[in-house]
Copies of this chain bind each other. A is one copy, B any other.
Amino acid sequence: MTPSDIEAVGLAMHALATELYPHCRSITGDGVRTTLKRLSREIPLTIHEVPTGTEVFDWTVPEEWNIREAWIKDAKGRKVVDFANHNLHLLGYSVPVHEKMSLADLKPRLFTVPEQPDLIPYRTSYYKKNWGFCLPHRDLENLEEGEYEVFIDSDHTQGSLSYGEYFIPGATTEEVLISCHTCHPSLANDNLAGSAVAVALAKQLASQPRRLSYRFCFIPGTIGSITWLATNPNVYPRIKHGLVLTCAGDEGAVTYKKSRSGIAMIDRAMQQVLKTSGDKYHVEEFHPYGYDERQYGSPGINLPVGCLMRSPHGTFPEYHTSADNLDFIKPHCMADTLTKTLDAIEVLESNACFVNLKPMCEPKLGKYGLYGDGGGQRTGEFSELALLWVLNQSDGTNDLLAIAERSGMTFRKILTAALSLEKAGLLRRENQPTPAT
């Protein structure tokens, strides 16, 4: 993609997030369905509905939750908290209620963050029947004594859990899994940004030649990945690489959290891309908390799935509050996340093992039009250096990624060098290496 393509994609991703922002998503319900339908206009999603009560490993698909209206009125009938103003106001999965009660009785139902008095926190109670409201701490402090009327028009029904899947076949059946959670209401970085990047990634991949197949899953966090894994065991053996995309739009440096093994090819590819990007970045070891990589990386599943994000969950003050809004995510940051993901996918697609066909000393590059002018020794990183690295290391034991790692050069430079050498008849391509899992 050209820089202007990338800029345009950044704006398009932000625009998509903006459209999706108002919907009240949860782990089930119509907010998710509306979201998946909107995504379907971008990419041909297959939408799956898994009925309430379906057993998925140690879990059960919960009742579907839908919400129409929710508010608290004060003694004068004024709405002091209203779900219509911001969907974070309601404790997710709240049961219906219509009651009058004193402020003292109401207060235990009201969630705030005193340290961030202007922000609405995000709270849910998926698996324990409960109700409550979330509001800025300043608003809580302004509530006067008196009788309050609370109203929540929600229902929990024998419905289904909805998720979307898009499979892009490649030349081989080896798959890359891209997974995003779609269960959060009006929270932009976590995870509309991830979903928007995934959509742009899918479009780009669908438009280019592919050795690998790609499977995109737009699922509710935790229960969604568990449901998908429980219902798709036949797919596991084909998943050779995977990424969870989340918090993909803030201005923090890109963070890559390694897969459970820590040495999968996706781990090496992503680290090599970040190391040679020239940008700040962070790499985290795997830990069994965070997003759905913990399910993909549970001991019985153990798929090589890492997690790509910018600022990790819980490390930015906007996290899980109303400040995680559309201003918090930036088009150029989402574009940067996308670009780096594509760079890592280039490694997965193109990594190969070559064998030097002139392994006795260096071949005379000039004979093949591969050597620049001028004598004397070169210094620093000069154009032939990647050629020399590829020739030196292509003894049948090092794939291009290993050569990039050892040389410290970008994978793309090493790949370009290898392709030039192959064209010149100096390298023979071996079979694709089997990725580490």
Contacts and interface: CB of A to CB of B under 8 A. Distances in A.
Nearest to A299: B395
A108 interface: no
A380 B289 CA distance: 10
Given A377-B320, A392-B294, A287 B407 contact: yes
B287 A361 contact: no
Nearest to A407: B287
Interface string A105-119: 000000000000000
Interface in A367-424: 367, 373-380, 385, 388-389, 391-395, 406-407
A25 to B, nearest CB: 14
Contacts of A48: none
A125 B374 contact: yes
A359 B124 contact: no
B389 A124 contact: no
A328 interface: no
A283 B358 CA distance: 29
A360 B232 CA distance: 12
A363 B297 CA distance: 13
Nearest to A358: B58
Given A126-B375, A374-B125, A230 B360 contact: yes
Given A377-B320, A388-B289, A301 B361 contact: yes
A199 B45 CA distance: 71
Given A289-B385, A367-B58, A360 B229 contact: yes
Contact of A361 (B225, B314, B385): B225
A209 interface: no
A300 B360 contact: yes
Contacts of A53: none
A297 B391 CA distance: 11
A353 to B, nearest CB: 13
Given A362-B295, A376-B122, A300 B388 contact: no
Contact of A300 (B229, B320, B359): B359
Given A92-B375, A392-B294, A361 B125 contact: no
Interface string A294-317: 110111111000000000011100
A392 B361 contact: no
Contact of A391 (B288, B358, B363, B366): B288
A364 interface: yes
Contact of A260 (B230, B301, B364, B392): B392
A110 to B, nearest CB: 14
A28 interface: no
A395 B392 CA distance: 38
A93 to B, nearest CB: 8
Given A124-B375, A376-B124, A57 B360 contact: yes
Contacts of A300: 356, 359-361, 395
Nearest to A222: B362
B288 A361 contact: no
B359 A299 contact: yes
Contacts of A367: 58
Contacts of A313: 377, 379
A363 B58 CA distance: 5
A377 B290 CA distance: 8
Contacts of A287: 389, 407
Interface in A34-62: 56-59
9 contacts: A123-B376, A126-B375, A260-B392, A288-B393, A289-B378, A295-B361, A300-B359, A301-B359, A314-B378
Nearest 5 pairs of A and B residues by beta carbon: A300-B359, A314-B379, A124-B375, A288-B392, A299-B395
